[in-house]
Chain A
């Protein structure tokens, strides 16, 4: 093989491919540089590991995928044709072992007949066990590049854009449209995925002087237009929103300044699609060999990059465009051996080349790295030529992807060009240039030779696979696609769709437009995950909210626990205490002396106005209106379907003023629910509901000494259980609620968050003086489980009714609350429902989250919602949900956690393990 040659000086940029140092010229794509270095074999195919080279010169390239960059910056599956070489670039081939030339996986190619379409489904999905055994080998054998295993060091920017006209594609048509719009005074944005303007003019300068593009761009800029190069319109969404992916650095390259890529959300008044057309390959045996390229791609390498990819070229075509490639090759000094034209001989002028009409390639032969011979049917004869390059053209497919993403109602079939053209558009979008019209083509004869004739090169789908799918009964184009994986690779079938559709239509005996189309989905070309994530990494999507008393806690080095958007102290271990030891010490302090904890995160709503009680009686399923001023009560809230979704307390602070508390994790949901009832269901109510969750910090003081501590703090009569009084601590106004979650006499002190610290300090001094300590969420959990109090997300899991939770007696008898109607559903009163129970261990420790069974192997009858222990006496206890649980007290069951291999025998009991009469918190 004489190999590719390059005019002019050798390279000035150094890069490596598979570790080999190579030189490139500035402006080269990796594909151009590899061709210039005589490297024909670039990749191994996805399924059969067939040797593959470079087929295209643009984003449609199906074969030449590489991994570029190192460490966290490495980017797999990057098209060598869409990657501009930079100094120090490190590129590697993929899907080969041990190396590209000698690839063990290519043995699969020899056994290709055993790997037809649907092979994996047929062979391995018969039994799950077989699949699980083979999966590891298959995943290793078939695949793309490896995902980077280190964090991406680069930043990814996002930006919003607005314009009157967005023009996609800076070819001659796009530039002209952008200039016209700019001259008409419109705000113009012009985007081009390549890094140069009008690359087609560089390829075909006879059309228009490439200098025209620069001049036009300068005019557009002068009129205030914005031109973004290396920017792909990746997705077209509702109301003319287009997402752009802008490369600020090449894949794998350290960004020269700032971000590596930028994601744009551009809202345009109208959009002009000048997206051009993609050339189709021809289907014949071994059309995937390195050295077989698309005709326009060959011309691009010659004219734009100065790389002549072969010295003896055969042109195979069904249209006129390929003759320009013949001319370009001849001008570059290569020998045009023959032009094979599928069309009959035209009358009149000759092209100056050796043209064979009614001719079509049959097969190629050669070695891994290159092409040696092309055989073709010419009329009735078979002819062979020695050649090192075959340039093929099967016609052109207008790029209608964005048009279809925009909700293009239809595509119009153009018989002369055998292509779909953009039809009516739902949005304000027009297609122009080669995206809107294609030149006529001649016939495309089917392959005769039995060798593999690929149509989807990236997913290794041949025409034979389409036939097989048809023979096995796959009739719809959607089924064909899924069965053969056609067009499902990262190139989304840019070069393969039309060939497959044509074959399917032929089988169905219908015209191509009647065979159906698959959906065009964004992105047009692959985008990196980093681009989509932008700055929303780690917890940026849900910022951690910091307690008003964060610094006070942090000084005591607690173990923190996430809770909703918050972190709360889980325990305050002293010295070498473990978490469990600390939590038990804290809980015992509450049971025997006094403890205090931060309850600031509870949801809190201040409801006021003449109709405050009316609103609360809609939200709460218990009565509210009968509360006296200064009194409070436990309450719970239902969804419209009658199931409990949250609980809390409601307090009457004044004649027309209430405070409602509910769970921390459900705070946002509750805010929306209240807003819905108030704004949507009952806008006529005279009431205001304000979310004061973060306005107030809350401190709970609990234990036998709590009353003494409170008296010392507020210096007056402490409220009795479920009463509230305004007071002051150290001159700071506070609201004291007497409510107990722990089961002991307890108070919640609410104070304006910014003034919480002195109040906390005063409480802590008093608590310490009475032999108490701080307690965290773990101790609180022990205390409330023992007392049988519920937690949202545990016992209240959105699947139980008030009756199931033994709260039925508290329901507002008058009804009228949200969920009252849902509660009457027959399914909610049937037997067999899960009901709240207590569980005590006969032996061992009840595993958290375990299921309740009667005997090993039997189906679960319920589950443990929270496991704890008797704080003072020891002994494992738990709360749970059990089918018909109320009637099963005394029954023995097994609490089993098979995933952890933990098990305990349990007795079903009432869900109260401590002070069942409630004497301890009453006066």
Chain B
């Protein structure tokens, strides 16, 4: 079970978090249909680093973007997203 450092709450057990999806699968409304389907169904799934969306579901409930190594589970970067994180 990974130890994930929530930007708001600090290091917490993975059990508090929910994995949602990869960033490359996100479809912004208004994307052209072909591009949207490409993002939804044809994904890179790299054996290495990838950007993933997680939620601190059983903590502060923040939505997070995490750069995580798919093999070693090493987390290279993590940031919160949402209105509070806007510049």
Q: Which residues of A contact B (CB under 8 A)?
A: 237-241, 265, 267, 407, 426, 618, 640-641, 672, 675-676, 678-681, 683-685, 816-818, 820-822, 824-825
User: With A640-B36, A822-B36 given, is the CB distance from A238 to B73 under 8 Å?
Assistant: yes
Contact (Cβ within 8 A) B63 A239: no
Closest A residue, CB atoms, query B65: A680
Contact (Cβ within 8 A) A676 B63: yes
B85 within 8 A of partner (CB): yes
B1 within 8 A of partner (CB): yes
B59 to chain A, nearest CB (A): 14
Chain B residue numbers with a CB within 8 Å of A678 are 82
- Assembly CA distance A825 to B1 (angstroms): 39
The 5 tightest CB contacts between A and B, nearest first, are A821-B36, A239-B3, A679-B82, A824-B33, A679-B63
- Assembly CA distance A816 to B26 (angstroms): 15
Show 6 A/B contacts (Cβ-Cβ < 8 Å), sorted by A: A239-B73, A267-B3, A672-B55, A683-B85, A817-B29, A822-B40
Which of A618, A641, A818, A821 is B32 in contact with, Cβ under 8 Å? Answer: A821
Contact (Cβ within 8 A) B2 A820: no
Contact (Cβ within 8 A) B29 A821: yes
- Assembly CA distance A825 to B36 (angstroms): 10
User: With A407-B72, A640-B40 given, is the CB distance from A683 to B29 under 8 Å?
Assistant: no
B14 within 8 A of partner (CB): yes
Contact (Cβ within 8 A) A681 B2: no
- Assembly CA distance A824 to B55 (angstroms): 30
- Assembly CA distance A672 to B27 (angstroms): 16
Contact (Cβ within 8 A) A822 B81: no
Contact (Cβ within 8 A) A680 B37: no
B15 to chain A, nearest CB (A): 9
User: With A241-B1, A426-B72, A641-B40 given, is the CB distance from A681 to B26 under 8 Å?
Assistant: yes
Contact (Cβ within 8 A) B83 A821: no
- Assembly CA distance A817 to B3 (angstroms): 36
B84 to chain A, nearest CB (A): 8
Chain B residue numbers with a CB within 8 Å of A267 are 3, 13
B28 within 8 A of partner (CB): yes
B66 within 8 A of partner (CB): no
Chain B residue numbers with a CB within 8 Å of A821 are 27, 29, 31-33, 36-37
User: With A680-B82, A821-B36 given, is the CB distance from A675 to B63 under 8 Å?
Assistant: yes
A244 to chain B, nearest CB (A): 14
B40 to chain A, nearest CB (A): 6
B24 to chain A, nearest CB (A): 13
Contact (Cβ within 8 A) A680 B26: yes
The residue in A265, A675, A818 that gathers the most chain B C-beta atoms within 10 A of its C-beta is A675
Q: Is the interface of A mostly helix, strand, loop or mixed?
A: mixed
- Assembly CA distance A294 to B61 (angstroms): 56
- Assembly CA distance A680 to B86 (angstroms): 11
Closest A residue, CB atoms, query B27: A640
Chain A residue numbers with a CB within 8 Å of B32 are 821
Chain B residues bordering chain A, tally (CB within 8 A)? 28
User: With A407-B72, A640-B27, A684-B83 given, is the CB distance from A265 to B36 under 8 Å?
Assistant: no
B6 within 8 A of partner (CB): no
Chain B residue numbers with a CB within 8 Å of A641 are 40
- Assembly CA distance A821 to B38 (angstroms): 11
B41 to chain A, nearest CB (A): 8
Closest A residue, CB atoms, query B37: A825
Q: Which residues of B contact A (CB under 8 A)?
A: 1-3, 13-14, 20, 26-33, 36-37, 40, 53, 55, 61, 63, 72-73, 81-83, 85-86
Closest A residue, CB atoms, query B36: A821
- Assembly CA distance A426 to B40 (angstroms): 33
- Assembly CA distance A690 to B26 (angstroms): 23
A523 to chain B, nearest CB (A): 15
Contact (Cβ within 8 A) B33 A238: no
- Assembly CA distance A821 to B53 (angstroms): 21
Which of B2, B20, B30 is A239 in contact with, Cβ under 8 Å? Answer: B2
User: With A238-B1, A265-B1 given, is the CB distance from A683 to B27 under 8 Å?
Assistant: no
Contact (Cβ within 8 A) A238 B2: yes
- Assembly CA distance A678 to B72 (angstroms): 32
Chain B residue numbers with a CB within 8 Å of A239 are 1-3, 73
- Assembly CA distance A890 to B53 (angstroms): 49
- Assembly CA distance A49 to B27 (angstroms): 60
Which of A238, A676, A816, A817 is B14 in contact with, Cβ under 8 Å? Answer: A238
- Assembly CA distance A818 to B40 (angstroms): 13
Chain A residue numbers with a CB within 8 Å of B63 are 675-676, 679-680
Contact (Cβ within 8 A) B1 A818: no
B55 to chain A, nearest CB (A): 8
Chain A residue numbers with a CB within 8 Å of B37 are 821-822, 825
Contact (Cβ within 8 A) B3 A241: yes
- Assembly CA distance A237 to B55 (angstroms): 21
A236 to chain B, nearest CB (A): 11
Chain A residue numbers with a CB within 8 Å of B29 are 618, 681, 816-818, 820-821
Known: A426-B72, A684-B86, A825-B33. 16 other contacts (CB 8 A): A238-B2, A239-B1, A239-B2, A239-B73, A241-B1, A265-B13, A618-B29, A675-B63, A678-B82, A679-B81, A681-B28, A683-B82, A820-B29, A821-B27, A821-B33, A822-B40
- Assembly CA distance A821 to B28 (angstroms): 10
Closest B residue, CB atoms, query A426: B72
A612 to chain B, nearest CB (A): 14
Closest A residue, CB atoms, query B31: A821
Chain B residue numbers with a CB within 8 Å of A640 are 27, 36, 40
Chain B residue numbers with a CB within 8 Å of A618 are 29
Chain A residue numbers with a CB within 8 Å of B30 are 816
Contact (Cβ within 8 A) A683 B36: no
- Assembly CA distance A618 to B81 (angstroms): 19
- Assembly CA distance A267 to B53 (angstroms): 24
- Assembly CA distance A817 to B72 (angstroms): 38
Closest A residue, CB atoms, query B83: A683
- Assembly CA distance A237 to B2 (angstroms): 8
Closest A residue, CB atoms, query B14: A238
User: With A237-B1, A821-B27 given, is the CB distance from A683 to B40 under 8 Å?
Assistant: no
- Assembly CA distance A450 to B3 (angstroms): 54
- Assembly CA distance A240 to B81 (angstroms): 28
Closest A residue, CB atoms, query B20: A676
- Assembly CA distance A679 to B82 (angstroms): 4
Contact (Cβ within 8 A) A683 B81: yes
- Assembly CA distance A678 to B81 (angstroms): 10
A786 to chain B, nearest CB (A): 37
